[in-house]
Amino acid sequence: MAGTTLEETTGMKKELIKKICYLALKALKLTGKPYHVEKTICSSETIISFQGSWSVNDWFARNPFGETKVDLQLFPSLRSIGNDEAALVNEAFLNKFKQILGGSALGNVVQKAVTNKKKIVFTGYSSGAPIAILATLWALDKYRNPNTSQIPLLCVTFGSPLVGDRIFSHAMRRDKWSDYFINFVARYDIVPRILLAPLSSIQQNLEPVLQFLNPQSQNFKNEFIGRSNETRNFYLTVMKNAATITSHAACNLMHSTNLLVEAIGNFIELSPYRPFGTYIFCTENGKLILMKNPDAVLQLFFYSSQLSNESEGQEVAYRSLQNHLNYKSELLKGSKVVYLDQPEKLPLSAKDSYGNNNSAFNDLGMSTRARLCLRAAGELEMQKTRNQDKIGKRINDVEKALSDLKDYKEVCEGKKVGYYDAFKLQNDEKDFLSNVKRLELAGIWDEIIEMLKRYELPDELEGREEWIKLGTKFRRLVEPLDIANYYRHLKNEDSGAYMKKARPKRYRYTQRWLEHAVRMPTGACSESTFWAEVEELSIKTNNKRPFEDVKKDVVQLEKKLEKWIHDEVLSKDIFVKGSTFVKWWKTLPPQHQSGSCIKNFIEE
Contact 44, 118 (CB under 8 A): yes
Kindly tell me the number of DSSP H helices and DSSP E strands found in the chain. Answer: 26, 13
User: Whole-angstrom Cα distance, residue 36 to residue 49?
Assistant: 5
Q: Give CA separation, 174 vs 276, 295, 393, in Å.
A: 12, 15, 22
Q: Is there a catalytic annotation at residue 573?
A: no
Distance CA 497, CA 519 (A): 28
One DSSP character per residue, 276-330 reads -SEEEEE-SSSEEEEE--HHHHHHHHHHTT--SSGGGHHHHHHHHHHHHT-HHHH
Query: What is the spatial distance between Cα 27 and Cα 37, in angstroms, rounded to a whole number?
Result: 10
Cα–Cα dist 5/203, whole Å? 40
Which residues have CB under 8 Å from 329's CB, separation 6+?
none
What is the radius of gyration, based on Cα positions, of the chain? 29
Q: Return d(Cα 124, Cα 52) in angstroms, integer.
A: 8
Active-site position among 36, 170, 248, 324: 324
Task: Give the integer Cα–Cα distance in Å for 449 and 467.
Answer: 12
Among the listed residues 165, 189, 363, 431, the single catalytic one is: 189
Q: What is the rounded (10 degree) CA torsion for 41, 42, 48, 51?
A: -80
**Contact (CB, 8 A) for 453 and 509:** no
Count of CB atoms situated within 10 Å of the CB of 582: 17
Indicate the SS3 state at residue 32. coil
Indicate the length of the chain as a whole number. Answer: 604
State the amino acid at position 42 in one-letter form: C
Instruction: Considering the candidates 126, 127, 271, 538, report the single residue annotated as catalytic.
Output: 126
β-pair partners for 475 = none
324 noted as active-site residue: yes
Contacts 24+ apart (CB under 8 A), 170-174: 170/80, 170/455, 170/459, 171/77, 171/78, 171/79, 171/80, 171/87, 172/276, 172/277, 173/276, 173/294, 173/458, 173/459, 173/460, 174/81, 174/459, 174/460, 174/461, 174/462, 174/463
Report the phi/psi class of residue 286: left, alpha or beta, with left for phi > 0 and alpha for psi in -120 to 50.
left
Sequence-separated contacts (24+) of 113-119 with Cβ below 8 Å: 113/39, 113/46, 114/143, 114/151, 117/152, 118/39, 118/44, 118/45, 118/46, 118/152, 119/44, 119/45, 119/46, 119/152, 119/153, 119/154
Vertex 509 angle, CA 507 and 514, to 5°: 95
Q: Are 480 and 528 contacting, i.e. CB atoms less than 8 angstroms apart?
A: yes
Q: What are phi and psi of 533, to 5 degrees?
A: -65, -40
126 is catalytic: yes
Cα–Cα distance between 532 and 451 in angstroms, integer?
27
Tell me if residue 252 falls in helix, strand or coil.
helix
Give me the active site residues, please. 126, 189, 324
